[in-house]
Chain A
Amino acid sequence: KAGVTQTPRYLIKTRGQQVTLSCSPISGHRSVSWYQQTPGQGLQFLFEYFSETQRNKGNFPGRFSGRQFSNSRSEMNVSTLELGDSALYLCASSHSGHSSTDTQYFGPGTRLTVL
């Protein structure tokens, strides 16, 4: 079974631009979560989608948004990029996400650099 895939793997943008990241979950997984990882803050939860609906949201500004399609693929968008948005963005999928013990499978991440 193919793992979680994320595209692109690397991205360089300038301040003020917007960016869209893509995530394809493991086949059959319906829950997709997004995380931001930085050296200073570590891993932080952005949001979780299930059946095309945002089910949980972390403490990030509205510039960070996402969506999920009917095939469970998900996209994350960051508008008006700031230098502090430079990070590794990780996507993780799980079967349903209903149980807190559901195992999440992470993709390799998208490394975003904002200049």
Chain B
Amino acid sequence: KNQVEQSPQSLIILEGKNCTLQCNYTVSPFSNLRWYKQDTGRGPVSLTIMTFSENTKSNGRYTATLDADTKQSSLHITASQLSDSASYICVVRKGGSYIPTFGRGTSLIVHP
């Protein structure tokens, strides 16, 4: 069964600190992996997308990595800000299929 597992389920950090969120998947064949940020009461917003040949992609303070061999991805947030408090969702697309497989998300809270 194609699955996407995210860890940790929730995370609390202090403002200014770095953190790393994990995403493991079993989706095969792999097409691409995307990280979304979802603020409370809003729809998800795409942060990064990586295909098989890419192993790192940055978007400001957000850096995503992909290891297609181990089927793992991580999202690193540098110098966290209060506005980073949100749910971060990993989404994997299977080759030849439009339908995405979503992780359950990691809820990040940044405290002042």
The interface of chain A, by Cβ under 8 A from chain B, is: 4, 42-45, 48, 55-56, 58, 90, 92, 97, 100-101, 103-104, 106-109
Contacts and interface: CB of A to CB of B under 8 A. Distances in A.
Contact of A43 (B49, B51, B102): B102
Interface string B29-55: 001100000000111111001010000
Contacts of A106: 42-45
A42 B99 contact: no
The number of chain B residues touching the other chain, given as a range, is: 20 to 34
21 contacts: A4-B43, A42-B89, A42-B103, A43-B89, A43-B91, A45-B99, A45-B100, A55-B98, A56-B99, A90-B44, A97-B98, A100-B31, A101-B32, A101-B49, A101-B51, A103-B46, A106-B45, A107-B43, A108-B42, A109-B42, A109-B43
Interface of B: 31-32, 41-46, 49, 51, 89, 91, 93, 98-100, 102-105
A42 B104 contact: yes
A35 to B, nearest CB: 8
A44 B51 CA distance: 22
